[in-house]
Amino acid sequence: MSQYRTFTAADAVEYAKRYGGIDDPSALVSAEEIGDGNLNLVFKIYDNQGVSRVVVKQALPYVRCVGESWPLTLDRARLEAQTLVEHYKYCPQHTVQIIHYDADLAVMVMEDLSHYRIWRSELVKGVRYPEASRQLGEYLAQTLFHTSDFILHPHQKKAEVARFINPEMCEITEDLFFNDPYNDHQRNNYPAALEPLVASLRHDNALRIAVAALKHRFFANAEALLHGDIHSGSIFVAEGSLKAIDAEFGYFGPIGFDVGTAIGNLLINYCGLPGLVAPREAADAREQRLADVHDIWSTFSARFLQLAKEKTTGIALGYPGYAQAFLRKVWADTIGYCGTELIRRTVGMSHVADMKLIKDVAMRTECLRNAITLGRTLILAADHVEDVDALIARIRQAG
């Protein structure tokens, strides 16, 4: 990585002129750094009319909120770009387009999504995009099926697993999802009033064993090329459209991890809504979130089964009934990983606006309590929830 240097705004403009695919590159004149995450610089590139045309994204060699004491691999830029390129092949309507990427500079140029909004921000404000959950289910089905053993030749699949090995970023996931929240770790962050509840997670043997099993499957089950961090903050929405971005955690892992992470983020919003909007609005919005959860799984599972029926290449995996049996295992994983997402977003370091923007401290604490309790319930119940209707019934019972 000897060529690597951290881009300035001027560097980003010059790079976009060379690699942005703009008909008149000289029209690109300025850049604005808009990155609000911990891992990257993100520049929006404007033309001489003040219109943003493309985005330049560069990986940083450390975690931004911590500094150089937490170094990160720059190879994640390659992995992110290649993951999005692969996903774009199979679901271009719901994946951001990568125009160019450079592994040495850890930089990529991608399509501008200025007319889109971050889905999490819209959910927090109570704005609903009625097609988004079904579109997310479609994205998950298309990308996960087409990178799985159902369609890839075994030789190609093994080569792809090797190409997308991502140990450094996976280690972050392993720590934040499966280690930190269940131990007394300095990265954890939660109100002191929740200490008895959080401490009980550490000493719940059944829970710890279930989390260990989820972590083990995260290690061992290379089922498909995952996005690896598909939450409402890594999804852009517009009227009638949805685009997945930010895939630097991409690797081959258990399909239920992506589906569970997606659903878990909607349930974070479900738990936070009583503190974000007025009571009547919150009740309606919570019903919408449950409908969204239903739509994601129903769309994903129906499309996956259709693709399996039409496209499965192997004799054994194509045997009637096997795809349905496989999805039952994916469903159990989905519920478990959904639970770990709820807990890591409330106990661990990676808090989100669905909770952080609740102004009333007591209400925020109660919403966090409900999310932690729901997460624990889902992890422990994962093998016993028959279908998505039963899941929604359990969520209602949890409050």
Q: What is the pLDDT of residue 300?
A: 98
Q: What is the pLDDT of residue 1?
A: 46
Alpha-carbon distances of 214 from 101, 128, 178, 379, rounded to whole Å: 33, 32, 8, 9
What is the Cα–Cα distance from 286 to 252, expressed in whole angstroms?
A: 33
pTM metric for this prediction: 0.94
pLDDT digits (tens, 9 = 90+) for 173-195: 999 999 999 999 999 999 999 99
Instruction: Go through the domains of the chain in sequence order and give each one's CATH number.
Output: 9-111 (3.30.200.20), 117-398 (3.90.1200.10)
Q: What is the pLDDT of residue 65?
A: 60
pLDDT digits (tens, 9 = 90+) for 231-259: 999 999 999 999 999 999 999 999 999 99
Alpha-carbon distances of 399 from 4, 334, 346, 371, 386, rounded to whole Å: 50, 20, 17, 10, 20
Decide if 110 contacts 99 (C-beta within 8 A).
Answer: yes
In the chain, the amino acid numbered 62 is Y
Chain position carrying tokens 């008149």: 24
Q: What is the pLDDT of residue 19?
A: 96
Question: Please, which residues have CB within 8 angstroms of residue 107's CB and are 6 or more apart in sequence?
Answer: 7, 15, 56, 57, 58, 59, 77, 101
* CA geometry: angle 354, 360, 362, nearest 5 deg: 100
**Residues of the chain predicted below pLDDT 70:** 1-2, 36-38, 64-69
Q: Find how far residue 16's CA is from the centre of its chain.
A: 27
Q: What is the pLDDT of residue 39?
A: 79
Alpha-carbon distances of 120 from 25, 84, 178, 213, 326, rounded to whole Å: 33, 20, 23, 29, 31
What is the Cα–Cα distance from 165 to 167, expressed in whole angstroms?
A: 6
Q: Which of 25, 169, 145, 153 is nearest to 87 (CA)?
A: 145
State the pairing for strand pair 62-63/67-71: antiparallel
